[in-house]
Amino acid sequence: MSSPDFSPERLTLAQFAEKFRHEMVPVNSKFAYFSAAVHLGDEEIREYLTDPISALPPALTSHLPGVQVLLVPYLEKAYGKEKANGKSPASYVSFEKPADNRSTPCALHRVRTAEAVLAFAVKDEEIADYHYRFYHVLAELAADVWNLDMQEQFHRVIREELSGGVHGEVDEESWHSKQALLRRQTNMRRTTKAFRDYARQSFIDTLTLYLHGICCDIDIETGPRQLPSRYLRKRLTALQTLFPPPEGYVLFPEELQPK
């Protein structure tokens, strides 16, 4: 697959997505992609698209909007007046490497309720990092559309942890959100804004780990902020009930069928 000719003009993510909308290549009925960063042979298509998309639970995919995946060289964050005026998107597609304080590895642009654009900077990036970011952005989308029954089931799990004083979280963002909640609130039965913010971020980070674990053989880093393994397993089991893996995929090693 050859790369098209690109003009040197600086395009926002929304402008870039619109410009190449008709060159999107379908992966399935929900996902399509366009690559402006790398030549995609069969192996690269499998690593960047087929494998991570095939591992998505059908019950989750059915709730997502149509997703356009853009693989671009670099993404540059807006700043100053661009960010303050409230009109410019949060990122630009760049073919030159931005300064470190302007660079961002991924971006989400919601085109309309039935469509979203996920952009990933893939120059100088490891495929494992790409997979993590791919699932993290999808988890953010899922957190916008999960229904009340799903929310309640996950809320029960984290309320039990909070009531029991369980230390730790899955990732940095949910850790900081949890600390903010604990500083403001003692009665964890109350559904306050702080609780909703924490529950949403905890869901995103846990779902990211769950999806990544279905697709890939990953290791969970231990540390003082890490949720203890038995509580982490309970969360993952709850998500497994809500979003069973597709046929042929498992989450836990003991679920593998003996040959």
Give residue limits of the domains in the chain: 11-126, 148-255
- For 165, other C-beta atoms within 10 Å of its C-beta total 7
Q: Which is nearest to 198 in space by CA: 185, 186, 180, 183?
A: 180
13 φ, ψ to 5°? -60, -40
pTM here is 0.89
Q: Report residue 9's pLDDT band, with 50, 70 and 90 as the boundaries.
A: low
CB of 138 closer than 8 Å to CB of 117 = no
Nearest to 162 by CA among 204, 143, 190: 190
Q: Which two tokens stand for residue 238?
A: 């709850």
For the chain, the first-to-last Cα distance in angstroms comes to 38
Q: How confident is the model at residue 221 (pLDDT cuts 50, 70, 90)?
A: confident
- pLDDT tens column, 67-108: 999 999 999 987 655 444 444 456 899 888 888 888 999 999
H-helix segments, 101-147: 127-145
Indicate the residue type of 217.
Answer: D
Cα torsion 151, 154, 156, 160: sign: negative
